[in-house]
Structure formats: C-alpha cells, structure tokens
Structure 1
Amino acid sequence: MTESIISELNHIKADFPQYADKAIYWKNTIEEKETFLASNKHPIIFIGNVGVGKSSIITNLANLFIHGKATDRKTLQVTSALPIAAGRTTICEVQICSSDNNPLKPLKLVIDPLNLDEMRKEISIYAEMEWKRHQSQPRNSVKDEAEPTAIEIQRVIRNMTNYTEYQKYVTQNGIRKRQTVYPIKKAVTKFKKVEEFTEHLIERSKLKKRTQTEWHWKAYDILSLKDLKTIIENINLGKAQTAMLPKCMTVFIPSKILNENINFDQTLIDTRGLDGLVEARDDLFTYIKNPRALIVLCAGFNDAPGDTLRSLLNHMKNNALLDQSLKRTFIVLIDKGDAEQVNGANGDRVFGQDLKIEECQRSLELTGTLEDMLKERMIAFDVLQDDDTMIKSLINQCLEKVHQTVNSEKETLVKHAQQFINNITEEYNNKLCQQVDDQIKETIKQNPLPTSPLLEDPLLGMYSAINNSRYASIVYASCRRKGVYYNLNLYAAAGNMALSEAARQYSPLIKNVIDTIDDLEKDQSLEKVQNHISYRKEQYKKALINVITDYSIRVKDQIYRHLIDNENLWIKCTNEWGGGPGFKIRVIQRIKDWESRQQHINAHEIILIEEIPFLAELSYSSNDFCFKLFVRNLRALRQIEWAPNGLNVLIGANGSGKSTLLLIFKLLRIAFDRDLPEAITQVLGGSYNLKFWGIDDSEPIELGLDINEETIWRLKIITGEGKEYQTEEYLQDKKRLIFSRDTQGNLIYNDNSMVSDTKLGIRALIDSGGKETSLRKMASLIQSFSVFHDPDLWTLRHQGSNTTETRKLHSRGRNVLTLLRQWQQELPNNHRYNFVVQGLKAAFPNIVQNLDFEEAGNTLIARIYTPGNELPSPLKNEANGVLQFLVLLCNVASSEEKSLIAIDEPENNLHPYALRRFLSLAEKWAREYKVTIILATHSTVILDELTQKPEKIFVMKTDLLKEKQPIRLDELCDREWMGEFEYGDLYKQGEIGSNEDGN
C-alpha cells in the first residue's frame, strides 16, 4: 500500500503544481518512517560517572568473558576482555559492534587514533605540566585540583616515552616499605627549557611508527579473546608500540554473541566517564539527539541518582529537542554488593535494591526531574549476582516501543496521505483547510515571540561552562587545546546554551499551536480535512526541531570558526595560569575583550522563523507600524511600492533614485508640518521638472501611504506648464471614504465642506479636531518620519551646538550635543544617552571612555575622556570618524517607538570596524523599539555584514522602470546562488545595483 501511495504522490507533484509542496512533504515524511523501520540497528549508549561500572555491564551484556562469568570482583577484572577497574582505566570511548558483515574476521579491534599534530599537542601539554611540577615554582593549587592532562593520558605518555613508573622496596629506619619511582622526574631535570623537554618526549614516543589501527582474528575463541584483552590493555597503558593514543576503540564480535536474547542489532557504546559539566560534553549530546539511540544512565548505587545524572536529566527534560530522548532512556543503579546494607533491607539483597529504587524515584520526583515513563525503566543491577536478561529484556521493551511508535506514526501518515490524494480536487475542502490555517494563525498571533535575539551574548554558554567548572585546571586544559577538551568542550557549551534558549522561547508557541491542532482533530466538521490537520501537526513538530537545531549549530560553528585558530587569544588565556586566584575570571575577561572587538559573530541574531509555517508573515504583519510607501512619476521615481520593516539597506546605481526615495519621507513630513509648496521648495528645490522624464502629461505625480493594507491615503500632483501644479487628496479606511479634497482646495469630510488652502487635507482635519482613528493613525505615521543626511561636522567641530535647539534633531545633526546633554539630564531619556556613549566606547575602545559638556552662552561643546586619562580633551580634536559616529548614533537614538528614520550614506568617514559596530547597534535599536531604519548606501562593508540576510537589502534599478521598486534582493537574485558569495563582492563586481544596469 505504501508503494502505491508514494507513486500517487509523485503523480500529484507532477500534475498538480499547486499541491506539489504538500505531496513532497507527505512522500518524504512517510519515507523517513519507512527508512527508520527498515533497520534494526540501534546504538545503546551507556553514560555515567567515572568508575561507576559501565564497562562491567557492557562486558556482561556482550559476554566478553574469557573464562566464563565472574563470581567476585577480583576475577571480574581477570576474566573480562575489557579493562575493568575503579575508574580512569579506559582512555577513550569503547564500542562493541557486530562482525557478521565480515565472517572471515569474527573478532576485530579497530582504533580511531589521534593524528600526529594532536598527539604532539598532548605530549606538549603533558611535558609542560611535568616541567612546572618538577622544575618551576609549584603553583598554589586548590585541594584535589585536577591536572590539565587526564591521569590515564599521563600514564599512556609516560609508557610511550619509556618513562614508566615502577615500584621498589626501600628500608627506612629498619622498616621495609614499597615506594613508587617516577623516572620522568629525573628526566625533567636534564633540560633547561620546557621546549627541549617536549621535543625529547616526542622523539622518544616514536610517533611515526605508530600507524597500526586494526587487529583481527580468524576465530572467536578463548585464545583470541586473551589476545584481544592483552592488546586493549597495552593500548590503554601506552605500551602498544605500533598504536597511537586512540579517540575511540571498536571491538567487533559475532552477532550471536553480542545480540543473544536481543531482538535488535545493537552497538554497545561505553562513553568516557562524566567528570564535569554535562553541557560541555559534545559527544554525549550527539548521542542523546540520535533518534535511534537508547540511553542507559548508570548511577552509583549508594548515591543514586547523583548530581551529574540529575543535571543531565534536567537538560533532557527541559529541552524540546532532547525531551523526546526520555522515551528512549532507562536508569541502572549499579550495585556492587551494597544492596544488603540498605536501611530496612535486613540483609535481603533484592529488597534492598527495591528500597533504593524507590528512594531514587522520590529524590527525582521532589526536584521535578522524573518523568512517569522513567519509573518503569529504573532497575538495580549487580554484575556478579543478577542475571543480565533483566537488562536485555528492558532493552528489547524500549526498542520495540520505539518501533511500535514509529510504525503507528507511519500508518497515520499513510491514512492521511490517502485522504489528501482522494480529496485533492474538492474545492470545499480547500475552504476547510483555510479555516484550519486561520485558527492556527490566530494562535500564533496570541503568542508573540520576543523581538530581541534569543541570546544577547552568543558566548554565554562558554562563559557559564568556564565559571561553573569545578577545577580551574580543567579550564586551563581546555584553553591549551583551544577550547576542545573532552571534559570541557567550550564550543559544545556555547551550542547547548543556544539550544536551550531557542527551545525555551519557541517551545511554548509550538505547544500552543499543537494544542490548537489537537482540538481541530476532534472537530467533526473538519473530518474531511484530517489529512491537512495531520500535515500541519507534523510540520510544526519538525519545524521546532529544525529551528532550534539550526540555531544551535550555527551559533556553535560560527564561534568555532572564529576561535579555533586564534593562537594569540588562547596563549593569552593559558598565560593567566599561575597568576594566583581568579584564573577562570581572567580567562573569561580575555575572551570577552576579544569578543568586544568582533563584528562577524552574529549567528545568534538570526533564527529561521521561515521554517515555522505562517510565523514569518505574521511576525511582519503583526507590527502595528506596518505601512507601505507609494510613489508614482516623481523625478527619478517611476513606480515605488515599498513596505520597509526593521533595518533596511537601500542600494543601487548612481542616479537610480536612492536619495530621492529617502527625501520623499522628508517631503511628506514637512508637507504635513507646514504645507506642500514649502516642502517641495525645501526638499526638491522647487517644482520645476517634478515629473519623471518622458511620462505622458495625463499621468499625475502620486504620493501615498497604506497602513496595514486597510487605511489608504493618496496625494495627486497634477502638473501644468512651467511651475504650476494642482493637487487632489483623499483618505479611505476599509474601503470607506473618510475625506476627499479637489484641485480647488475644497475638502469634503463627513458630508461637510471646508477649504484647506495650501495645507494638506489630512493636516487641516487634524487642526479642526478630526477624531477618526484612521485619520490620526495616518497623521502619526507621517509625523514619525525623520531623514538625516550630510552631517555638518565642520560646524559641530568648530562651533558646537546651539543650546536653544532642543525640540528635535536637525537633519544634519547640528544640535546633536544639545540633545545628547538633554538625554543625559532627563531620566526617561537616559537610555538614549547610554546608547550613544556605549556605542562610542564599542567602536573606539581606545579613544572614548565617557563624555561631558561645557557651556558658554548659547554654545555647547563636548569633551572626551579617553581610557586611563583623568583629564578630558575637546571633541573638536577628534577625527571625523568619531564625530560622524556620534551623529549617526544620535540619529538612531532620537527615534521614538514605531517611528521611521532614514540615513543617507552612513559609511562616510567611518572605518569598517566602526561601520560594522554601527550596523549592529542600529539593528538592535530597531528590533527593541520597533523602529524602521533605512540606510541608503554604497558600502560593501554593510552588504558583507548582511550576507545571508537578503530580506533586509533592497535594490533600486534604472533598467526596471515598468516594475515596482525597490526590489528585495532575494526576489531579484536566486538565494541559493547568492549563498556562495559575500554580498559586498557582488555589489563591487556589478552583479547587483550596478551603474551598467541600464546598458
């Protein structure tokens, strides 16, 4: 049946283009489920603290015993083919897989080794540690402080370099004692420099001879297992002379051994023991996210569940991406003969285990960590006394439940896909589908998302991981490895913080949408479109996972790209080691200092809301300040229809009309404040040649604004010979005429007539007390426009600002100092002043620390305090770039909520660093205060910063006179093609906004 469904969906994709997207979605989703069900391979992931006993359970489940199952702790170590001890025995992750695909090699060992550079790095870090321990002044360390090289890795390097520690007997005061001898200690003293000692160890390790990665046996028997045990032990100890230090070891054994009493093809994975922050373990979260993986959380019996596993469970439960993994998780309390000692057990081992399980469940319930599903999947297990069938049975149950769930989901999908196919031509169903979508949209509207970035600081997870690390030496170890240490992966910490924040903010919205969809599924009147309801439900489930995963990966990867090769920063961080208390604080400050100078770390500001159906369109339309500018036949502007929102960048060839387009906003504002003739004179230099060249005389000039596509205002300018012109004007709301004004100035409003002279009709009605909501909304919109251009830096430098000009910021910034001081003095406007000063400090960290003002008569000047200097210097002594930046920040800070500002050529006089800072600050202000900001520019720096954000870039073209302009960049050019380039390069090469457009 499934094959026929897929075939029919393929036909629909070809024959009904309007339904192709839905057909593709059904096909892909069904095939995903089928692919999952077609395989019975599943990794079983064992996670637990160092020394908890994971390896002993895995040995038991895989039957990797040489002489049969052990009966006591001592023989367990002897008879197990895997290393088993009290912890820190295994140097890497170990996997046990089936060897059935290669019957000639029923037993095989494969290692994934460190490469030469990685091994040299490990030896270098170890050499430095030994050098400081035996040559330098010892550092004042915290009690139980960990070392930057793990104990098991130290052991490997000592053995690889033939400095194996050993024990001997000595007699002191007549008493014979055993003493450990450390040859490495003596070796250190022979060298004067740590670099020499490092090279000595690298030479002795003979790294180039360590190339073997595979060992195999032709039979699976006791002798082969003994040989396997020896080789693994030698690799773990660094005594295998042909093997490099491994990242992972994989043992292949026959499936009939590995999967005995298991209905699936399992791979048993023994992860490295937890000994730090779970959120900084990249390997663990990769496994947890895998929908095929079964998670086995191993807890020490006496202290179960333990803080570390409790923290991991909290991460899983409180994250929309990870919480599904709880359905694939069970907990094992590893009993090492302690059950009989449990209070109340009275020596009964089984009863003691039951009591401990109940105690563990209560502990997790009290903290809100335990899911009901986990109660049935918590067992106690003693390797020596319990039958492994209890764990195998639980593995079977969990995996069968996973397959049953997926199969049920597939059957539902097939059923609804068939309904989609059957009803595809029914027009009535389209209306019902629209009804479903409308209810979903209403839910989205009622659950607005925050407008600020999910993370104010993308490195927050990194700072948190550093700060919360138990040992400063672990932070040092991570810094020595450029942030990539198995126990503290700083990039993983940053990515997991991004994942958590994205899930925290988007999960409630998706939950509410799915709740709405659940209600729609119960609506009998919608029975015929259950396929569409199911389609939307699957979409939203996937969308949440896709959005938060994408956000996490992009944040993590971008930080990694910028930091992994930054030798200078990591050297500065490691050099803080040995500087006394506060090492972690100093490392965080070093990274923060570096971060403050970065402009290209912006992945945290972008989230793919387009992945979530309807969210993008509703996010844009839900803004109260949603308007469209309408212009026809005015100077260089042939046809303008533009709905700018948030931050907008306007580009185009010289003469394409960019500056004229910005001036339209100024024209409308002055026309409202005063009258149209004065606006035309001030802004356009008079009415001569107002009309677009070559246009028929019968076509008027038109200006207009639409608000939310409901309230429409139009102003027609009808030109005659020379400078003469007449105007017509009207306002309508929801297709109802509010007022009209003819060429003679006669204005009709509510069936009453009045004369408006040269005033705009909308202004005349406001002055006469017009109370129509649409009238006042349109007036407020026009009054919110501000246009800034050509900053008057000479006047600002030599004459300061006039203290009497306090109403609004001048279009050329002449009164910028007056307003800046006013913002400083007025509490409600402090945020504007702080925005400017903090922005100056960010763009010019070595020039600006603070500002103050000095007044003489009606003149106000500013002074700059530079870092480290108590005395200020006059602002007039600063570079043009500082003054330009000051004016630009004030342009932005002067805007009110839901207003519009336009700035022409902000890049003048600015260094690229400062320009990138300005763009970031402007975008943040626009987002926070719902301000529309338009930047008309030729700057390739600005365009490069907006690479991957084509929706913010609009192009004016001289060769598209019959089309509406400006054109959004991703509507002008193929987004996938643009993805291969920086936008600044495209502009520079003439691919977009070129002067040759008309040729």
Structure 2
Amino acid sequence: MDRDVAIGRYIASLRDQADIKQNELAKKLPWSAAVLSRIESGERSLADDELEIVLNGIGTPEALKVKEVLSRKWDVLPEAALGDPDADLLWEAEQAAQQVHALAERPDVKQFYERRLVRYQEELISAAALVANKRYRAAFIGTIAVGKSTAICRAEGLEISTSKGMPKAVLETGAGGITICEVHLRRGPSYGLIVEPCTDDEIRRHVSEFANFLLNPTQPTQQQDDGDGETGSPGISREVERALRNMTGLRRKRAEKKPDGTIVPAVDEARVLASTISDAKALSVEILARMELHKRYRRDMWHSSESGKAPLEWLQDLFERVNNGRHGEFMLPKRIELVIPNAVLGDESVSVTLVDTQGIDDIAERADLEQHFDDVHTVVVLCTVFNEAPATAVRQLLTRAKEGGVRTLESHVAILALPRPGEALAMKDNGYPAQSASEGYDLKAEEVQLKLHPLGLSNLALTFFNSAEDEPGLLRAFILDRIEAVREWQRKSLREIINGANALLENYEKAQAREVMMAAAQSLTTWMDNNAKITTIPNKHVHESLLAAVRSAHARTVYAAVVRDGDWYNLNYAHQISYGARRIATSIIEPKLNAFKVIATNLLQDEQYADAHDLVQQTMRAAELGFDNLVRKVQLVGQSIYADEMCADIDFWRDCYKEWGCGSGYRDRINEHNRKWFEEAHLGAADARVLELVKENWEEAMVEIRQLLTQD
C-alpha cells in the first residue's frame, strides 16, 4: 500500500476512534474539510509539520505517538503496518536484530558468538513474521450432521428469517453429506462467491467412475459377518454424484401417484442412458457432453441491486445452486469461498477465515483435515455431538496429532460441543437432573476432561454452543479468544528471542558470563555425547497406519481407494504412509527431545547459570526446530514412497482390484496385499529409508546445537 494512503487511512481511523467528525477536526486545522478528506484518502501527502498539526488536532495518545512511529528506521525486518497492535514489539525485535547484525559483522567477533548472533537474527526474522501476519483461520472439523455449518452461520449472522420461526442458514444444511467441498468464509469488498473448480483431469475421473458404476452397478450381496456388505456405489462421493446428475440432467425421479390412482414408476435417467450405451468410454463422453463444460467459465459472482434479492437471500440461493451443480455457469467446485463485506467475527484487528471442512463420514484420518494441525496460523475447532463429547473422531484426530509430534495442541486446538435443545438439561449429577443448561455444560465438561486425560490434554479449550438457543456472540468470543491464544503464543516466542538476544549483547564483554556459559554448555554437551545418538530400532512400521485405516474404513471406501490406485480423499494411501513415517520419527526422536529439555530446564531453574539462560533457551529452540523439521521431512519421504513406487505398481493394484465381490473379508484381503507389498515384496525398505533419514537429520540438528555450544 502507498505510504500516503496508509497514513491517510490511519489518520481517519484515529479520528473515528476519538469520535471526532471530519468537519469538527477540520475546524481545528488550517485546512477545509475537503482538504482533510483528500488527506485521509491518501490523495494529498503531508509534510512532517503538517502531519504534526493533524495529529495534535486529534490529540489522543495514539495520535501523538504516530510521529515517533513513523520516524523508526527498519533495516532488518519489514516495517510494521500503521496501527498494528504489535508494532512496539516488532520494533523491539528490529532494534535487537540491528544490534545483533552489527555485532556479527565486526571482524573481531569470536566464532562462538558469531554463530549465535547469526542464528538470533534468523530467529528474530522468522518469529517477527509470525507476529506481523494477522491472517488467521479457524477450521471447523467434525462428523457429518454435527452442525458445523449451522454454527458458523449462526455466529456470523448468515441467516434468513423464515415463516416457520427457525432462521435458514446461508450455507446449505441438512442431515449431513450436503456440502460438496471445503467452504471458506472471509471478508471482501462485497457479498460474493468464488469457486476454485476441479481440474479437467479430476472432472474426467469423476465422470469415468460414475459411468463405470452405471454400467457395472454393485449387486447386493448377503451381509457378511465382518460388515463388508458390498452394496451401493463404491466410486464417487454422494455429493459429487448428486452434482453430476444435476449438471447433466440425469436425475432420479421418484414414483408418483396420480389423482386417478395410477402410479408412475420411479426412474433413474442415468441408468436409462447407460442401458443404451454399453461402452464405458462412450458413456463418459456422452456425460461430459451433457455437462456443457465450455459454458461453465465463471469463477466468481457478486451481489448487485439488479438481482432483486437481499444480499443474504441472493448468497444462499447462489451457494445452493453451485453446491449442487445446478448453476449452468460454474464448474464442479473443489473449494468455495463465501465473501462478506464485514469483518469475520467482528474483529477489525485481524483477518479471519472460517473454514467449513467436509464432514467425516467414514475415517477421520484425512489429509485435508490433518494438515490444519501443522498450520501455526490456524485454530483447529474440533466439533462434536454433545452426548458423545468428545466424539470418537475427535479423539482419533487428537491421538494422531500427538503421536505425529504436533507440539501446539494446547494453544491451537479447541473442542466445540454442539448440544441440541434439551440435551444439557438431560445431564445428571448423582442421579439428579441438571437444573440449568449451564450446570449441564459443567457436568459434560468434567466428562470431556476425563476422556482427554489419557492423552495429556485435559486442559484443552472447550465450549458449548446451542445454535438454536445460545447467543451468537458466545461462539464468536470463544473463537476470538482461541485466536488471541495463538497470537500470544507467537508473541511469547518472539519476546523470548528478543530477551535472549539482548542478554547475549549485554554479556558479550563479560568474562564471568563466558565462564558460566562454558559450564552450561558442558552440561548439555555431556548429555549429547551420551544420549543423542540413535541406537534403538523402532517397533512401529511405516504401513501400520495404512493397515489400521483399511481395517476401520467401510468396504466401499477401501474399494474407492483401490480403483484410484490409492488416491482417494477419504482413504489416501500417500497420506496414511506419510503419517506412518512421521509417527516412527516422533516415537524415536521425541523422547530424546524431551530428555534434552529436562537437562536444559534444570539449568534454567538454577540461578548460578543465569548468565547462560539465553544460551540454554536458544539451544532448546534449536532442538525443537530440528524436531519439527525432521518429522515434516520424514512425512515427505512417506509420500514419495507411495508416489514413486507404490502408485506405479500396476500388478499390485490389479491384484487388489480383483478382490472386490469375492465375499466376506474384503478389507482383510486388501490388507494382506498391503502388508506383503511392504514386508515381502520390498523387504521393509520403507522402514529402512525412514530410519536412515531420521538418523541423518537428527545428527544434523545435533551438529547445529553443538556449534552453538562450542566455545572456540
């Protein structure tokens, strides 16, 4: 943004905060209201003395500080935005970074200090970037029909009054399985909808699988003891199938009873078409032709008064048509963005996007859900039915995140229980019903804490929200509170680095401080000499996560993954293998990281090492960063195992494909193929690759820490 525009807008915001009208301020200044308007729009620049006149006219402490803020010279970090509530903290980081850089550039600086100074500068830049970034997400994750969409619309006032009393949500809701893709709600210039469409390859694959299903419908078989009733469509999701039918006009028509008593039988127009075309490719071509993809060019649409509808009614209607494939100008969506002109959650200081993820309808361990746990600017809101809180899917996701080495669960994750009317009052205490909803919530909170205790997460943030009865502000305040917890986590990290850098600068010339640092460094180095090396062989395997997912998934989900060579959003082989690799890395390295932190914490609690505390904290951060980088690198190795070898194994997928329709035990047979691929055909090569990478990267992390500790 142009500097004059930024200054003008900030002056306008300061004037609004002071509750001074533009005309009132102009009377205090040597200019007219028209000139002041040009200043606030950025059309007219201000000399330093003119700026001071305007700021003195406003007169608030914030206004009087602006000149000092604008005089700051930023050399290392990007300049903080005017009005950034963290501007002073970022300026502290800039000042520390300037001094650190200046000292590191001196030719007489010893290598021990130079290495630490260079690392401090890198840490300051990285941590300051997190604090300066004011874009956050709140990702709502839960099972289908849990009420995520309704809660989001209720919190944001995205509701339309109806004659039935209960308002209608702008996001289409129902009994689950409604939304075709992930939906993002964010602020923009006006009310609008933006679609990220499926690629041509993705559309062709959806159509091909739909055609194959129409030509080869799964015949109902006798329900087997293991629950592998192989009925229904094993291919595309019901949401995508519904959209394809609407886009092509190949709908299902229900049986209809006429006034004369005759019954018109039900008909499936897609199956009628399939009965006339026996070749799958030809049927796919016909379906694609009926979709008229050349007409589906639009990627966004914005409300105007010409629509004849109120903004929310227009947005609700548009979303419903796009979501169901009934809008002739939009392609099949991969992601939908709803745009509103006001600040999401009502907070102007941050930019928040609410993410309504696709509901969990089989297994919870999906890549599109678990990726949110690694985003340091995302609050993960795990939604659960009140009576089941925390639901099995919630506990599964938390367990996997913990086993996968996610270290930010307490600051970045929250549980949202969504009770329906009457459920809180049905709670009992020693046999007596709760006397109020609040008491019912308290009783349920105790249950939630007990269930989370085995995971070490009994203090996880928790709230209850009844979308039919509770005030929307309650949910807004909770989400904003969790975002503030993330922001404070980021600020705390930056403050620690600033304090450490300043301590190093202060102690640079002190011989006594150097002696204390040498003693502390010796303690940490001794531990590393005796314990840092990896000697244990993991008792887990890369493919264990995949085997567990196949065992718990519905047979149709497994089949859908098999026919896509493992690339199915509900059961993705690459994601399961990558998680298995990450879990192995965590199981090996996390105990060593924790042991190292115990030694470091003991030094931090000992006052005789006060002059070395910044060194100890810096090595702890280096160890934690090394751990975080390691588990993510290992995760990529897991993905490459699938992409480079497993996906290309035509014989493996052909053998798996043949197992469908062979009776009971389908999932067990698929898992036997999976197990043999890893353990027999490739002789545990995946485990060996992961272990080798873990050793290599942990040794590199230890080398970096030793360099910080070496007193040369």
TM-score by length of 1: 0.56
User: How far did 1:226 drift?
Assistant: 2.2
- 1:47 corresponds in structure 2 to 141
**Change in CA separation of 1:23 and 1:157 when aligned onto 2, cut-off 3 Å:** same
User: How far did 1:449 drift?
Assistant: 5.5
Amino acid of the residue matched to residue 128 of structure 1? N
Q: Is 1:451 matched with 2:535?
A: yes
- 1:916 corresponds in structure 2 to none
- 2:525 corresponds in structure 1 to 441
- d(CA) in 1 for partners of 2:253 and 2:438? 43
Amino acid of the residue matched to residue 164 of structure 1? R
- 2:74 corresponds in structure 1 to none
Give deviations 1:359-405, integer Å, cap 9, x for gaps: 3333444xx1362422xx32221112100111222222222233223
Match of 1:267 among 323, 335, 353: 353
- 1:505 corresponds in structure 2 to 588
- 1:410 corresponds in structure 2 to 494
Alignment check: 8 A CA contact 2:411 2:489 kept: no
Amino acid of the residue matched to residue 228 of structure 1? L
User: How far did 1:272 drift?
Assistant: 0.8
Q: Determine helix, strand or coil for the equivalent of 1:606.
A: helix
- 2:240 corresponds in structure 1 to 153
Give deviations 1:672-715, integer Å, cap 9, x for gaps: xxxxxxxxxxxxxxxxxxxxxxxxxxxxxxxxxxxxxxxxxxxx
Q: Is 1:609 matched with 2:694?
A: no
User: How far did 1:278 drift?
Assistant: 2.6
- 2:114 corresponds in structure 1 to 20
User: How far did 1:196 drift?
Assistant: 3.2
Q: Is 1:389 matched with 2:473?
A: yes
User: How far did 1:167 drift?
Assistant: 2.8
The answer to which structure has the higher helix fraction is 2
**Change in CA separation of 1:170 and 1:370 when aligned onto 2, cut-off 3 Å:** farther
**Change in CA separation of 1:384 and 1:176 when aligned onto 2, cut-off 3 Å:** farther
Give deviations 1:458-494, integer Å, cap 9, x for gaps: 333323322332x121011112222222211111111
Match of 1:542 among 619, 622, 625: 625
Alignment check: 8 A CA contact 2:573 2:642 kept: no
Give deviations 1:703-728, integer Å, cap 9, x for gaps: xxxxxxxxxxxxxxxxxxxxxxxxxx
Match of 1:11 among 82, 102, 118: 102
Q: Determine helix, strand or coil for the equivalent of 2:571.
A: coil
User: How far did 1:441 drift?
Assistant: 2.9
Q: Is 1:581 matched with 2:664?
A: yes
Match of 2:155 among 33, 38, 61: 61
Q: How does 1:469-484 map to 2 (within 5 A)?
A: 469=553, 471-484=554-567
TM-score by length of 2: 0.77
User: Cα RMSD over matched residues?
Assistant: 3.1
- 2:370 corresponds in structure 1 to 285
Q: Is 1:211 matched with 2:211?
A: no
Give deviations 1:898-950, integer Å, cap 9, x for gaps: xxxxxxxxxxxxxxxxxxxxxxxxxxxxxxxxxxxxxxxxxxxxxxxxxxxxx
Q: Is 1:31 matched with 2:125?
A: yes
Q: Is 1:525 matched with 2:614?
A: no
User: How far did 1:21 drift?
Assistant: 2.6
User: How far did 1:568 drift?
Assistant: 5.0
User: How far did 1:52 drift?
Assistant: 0.6
Q: Is 1:245 matched with 2:332?
A: yes
Q: Is 1:131 matched with 2:215?
A: yes
- d(CA) in 1 for partners of 2:518 and 2:192? 59
- 2:549 corresponds in structure 1 to 465
User: How far did 1:25 drift?
Assistant: 1.3
**Change in CA separation of 1:6 and 1:137 when aligned onto 2, cut-off 3 Å:** closer
**Change in CA separation of 1:616 and 1:430 when aligned onto 2, cut-off 3 Å:** closer
Alignment check: 8 A CA contact 1:353 1:380 kept: yes
Alignment check: 8 A CA contact 1:466 1:475 kept: yes
Alignment check: 8 A CA contact 2:540 2:584 kept: no
- 1:312 corresponds in structure 2 to 397
**Change in CA separation of 1:359 and 1:532 when aligned onto 2, cut-off 3 Å:** closer
- d(CA) in 1 for partners of 2:409 and 2:348? 21
Match of 1:191 among 266, 277, 281: 277
**Change in CA separation of 1:17 and 1:245 when aligned onto 2, cut-off 3 Å:** farther
- 1:401 corresponds in structure 2 to 485
Q: How does 1:334-413 map to 2 (within 5 A)?
A: 334-339=418-423, 340-343=425-428, 344-345=432-433, 348-365=436-453, 368-369=454-455, 371-374=457-460, 377-413=461-497
Max Rg structure = 1
Higher relative contact order (CA 8 A, sep 6+): 2
- 1:298 corresponds in structure 2 to 383
- d(CA) in 2 for partners of 1:392 and 1:45? 14
Q: Determine helix, strand or coil for the equivalent of 1:373.
A: coil
Q: Is 1:112 matched with 2:199?
A: no
**Change in CA separation of 1:273 and 1:403 when aligned onto 2, cut-off 3 Å:** same
**Change in CA separation of 1:6 and 1:263 when aligned onto 2, cut-off 3 Å:** closer
- 1:231 corresponds in structure 2 to 318
- d(CA) in 1 for partners of 2:575 and 2:375? 16
User: How far did 1:348 drift?
Assistant: 4.3
- d(CA) in 2 for partners of 1:421 and 1:298? 47
Q: Is 1:2 matched with 2:93?
A: yes
Give deviations 1:293-319, integer Å, cap 9, x for gaps: 111111112222221112122223444
Once the two structures are overlaid, the 10-residue window that deviates more, 513-522 or 162-171, is: 162-171
Q: How does 1:455-854 map to 2 (within 5 A)?
A: 457-469=541-553, 471-567=554-650, 569-592=652-675, 594-595=677-678, 596-597=680-681, 603-604=689-690, 605-607=692-694, 608-614=697-703
- d(CA) in 2 for partners of 1:316 and 1:415? 31
Give deviations 1:115-170, integer Å, cap 9, x for gaps: 1111111111122222222xx75555634866422211211111122111233423
Alignment check: 8 A CA contact 1:336 1:382 kept: yes
User: How far did 1:571 drift?
Assistant: 3.8
**Change in CA separation of 1:86 and 1:300 when aligned onto 2, cut-off 3 Å:** same
- d(CA) in 2 for partners of 1:612 and 1:7? 27
Match of 1:420 among 487, 491, 504: 504
- d(CA) in 2 for partners of 1:445 and 1:13? 29
- d(CA) in 2 for partners of 1:498 and 1:579? 32
- d(CA) in 2 for partners of 1:176 and 1:116? 45
**Change in CA separation of 1:398 and 1:179 when aligned onto 2, cut-off 3 Å:** farther
**Change in CA separation of 1:527 and 1:357 when aligned onto 2, cut-off 3 Å:** closer
**Change in CA separation of 1:350 and 1:525 when aligned onto 2, cut-off 3 Å:** closer
Aligned residues with identical type, % of pairs: 21
User: How far did 1:4 drift?
Assistant: 2.5
The answer to which structure has the higher strand fraction is 1
User: How far did 1:338 drift?
Assistant: 3.5
**Change in CA separation of 1:446 and 1:140 when aligned onto 2, cut-off 3 Å:** farther
Q: Determine helix, strand or coil for the equivalent of 1:266.
A: strand
Give deviations 1:327-385, integer Å, cap 9, x for gaps: 222212112223244454368444434433333333444xx1362422xx322211121
5+ unaligned residues in a row in structure 1: which ranges?
A: 619-999
Amino acid of the residue matched to residue 251 of structure 1? L
User: How far did 1:224 drift?
Assistant: 3.0
Alignment check: 8 A CA contact 1:304 1:333 kept: yes
**Change in CA separation of 1:154 and 1:508 when aligned onto 2, cut-off 3 Å:** same
- d(CA) in 2 for partners of 1:526 and 1:348? 54
Amino acid of the residue matched to residue 542 of structure 1? L
- d(CA) in 1 for partners of 2:706 and 2:489? 34
User: How far did 1:425 drift?
Assistant: 4.5
- d(CA) in 1 for partners of 2:492 and 2:220? 64
